[in-house]
């Protein structure tokens, strides 16, 4: 993602310098030299028209190619069974994190942490360990964004998303929702702590000791609006029999 960003800026600067160069060259080369001079009138210029039609498509095509390439690389799964799995739930207006560590002998349980508007949740990640995020929404569309990852992914009700990441440096970072999701959207923040594997396991055991075990799950039909009853539901019993 960083290479794509830097490459796009370099391409933009090159194109911008070229366009500004043309503008200044035309301003200088074809400036009026006296008050009686009238420039030669041209009705069509086929090469010029082809140029300013084809070149933008080429630019867009190149940027599209590298964007898709980067996107596929970012969304590629590390392996079929990642070392760690965290099921993330976005809800109005905070986050819940389910650490699926039942196969981890140091934890041997599924533990969770959930935040509120008043309390920011902490997302713990082990450094240099592959982690798979499974994203689900409990109500409306959110967007899971940790700016240091250079990446964000929508959290869509009824449409789970997932991606893999391997944090490569320790520290504390800020996460947030990048999709306007309602009244307290600005409160949908969380802290990310990338720590050693021992610290990660210790934190999860602390959650388990405090009773935060088991997986929190979103409703099967998030944010659903009740449908009006069908005619069949109002029909007499004999009509159902027929």
Which pLDDT does position 238 carry in this prediction? 43
Taking the C-alpha atoms of residue 132 and residue 146, their distance in angstroms, rounded to an integer, is 14
Which pLDDT does position 202 carry in this prediction? 94
Sign of the four-CA dihedral 130, 153, 15, 55: positive
Q: What parts of the chain have a pLDDT lower than 70?
A: 221-242
Which pLDDT does position 221 carry in this prediction? 67
Instruction: Determine how β-strand 84-91 pairs with β-strand 131-137.
Output: parallel
Question: Residue 116, Cα to own-chain centre: how many angstroms?
Answer: 21
Which pLDDT does position 237 carry in this prediction? 44
Instruction: Encode pLDDT of 201-229 as tens digits.
Output: 999 999 999 999 999 888 776 655 444 44
Tokens standing for 76? 């590629």
- Dmax (CA) of the chain: 98
């Amino acid at each position: 993602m960083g290479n794509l960003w830097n490459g796009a800026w370099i391409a933009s600067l090159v194109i911008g310098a070229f366009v500004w160069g043309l503008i200044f060259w035309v301003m200088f080369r074809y400036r009026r030299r006296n008050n009686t001079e009238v420039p030669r009138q041209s009705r069509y210029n086929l090469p010029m028209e082809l140029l300013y039609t084809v070149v933008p498509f080429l630019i867009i095509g190149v940027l599209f190619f590298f964007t898709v390439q980067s996107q596929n690389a970012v969304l590629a799964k590390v392996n079929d069974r990642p070392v760690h799995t965290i099921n993330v739930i976005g809800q109005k207006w905070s986050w819940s994190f389910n650490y699926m560590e039942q196969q981890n002998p140091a934890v041997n349980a599924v533990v969770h942490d959930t935040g509120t508007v008043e309390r920011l949740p902490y997302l713990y990640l082990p450094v240099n360990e592959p982690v798979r995020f499974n994203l689900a929404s409990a109500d409306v569309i959110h967007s899971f964004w940790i700016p240091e990852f250079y990446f964000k992914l929508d959290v869509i009700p009824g449409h789970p998303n997932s991606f893999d990441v391997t944090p490569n440096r320790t520290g504390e970072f800020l996460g947030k929702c990048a999709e306007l999701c309602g009244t307290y959207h600005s409160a949908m923040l969380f802290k990310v702590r990338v720590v050693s594997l021992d610290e990660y396991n210790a934190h999860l055991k602390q959650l388990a000791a405090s009773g935060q075990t088991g997986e929190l799950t979103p409703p099967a039909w998030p944010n659903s609006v009740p449908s009006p009853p069908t005619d069949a539901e109002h029909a007499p019993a004999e009509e159902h029999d027929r």
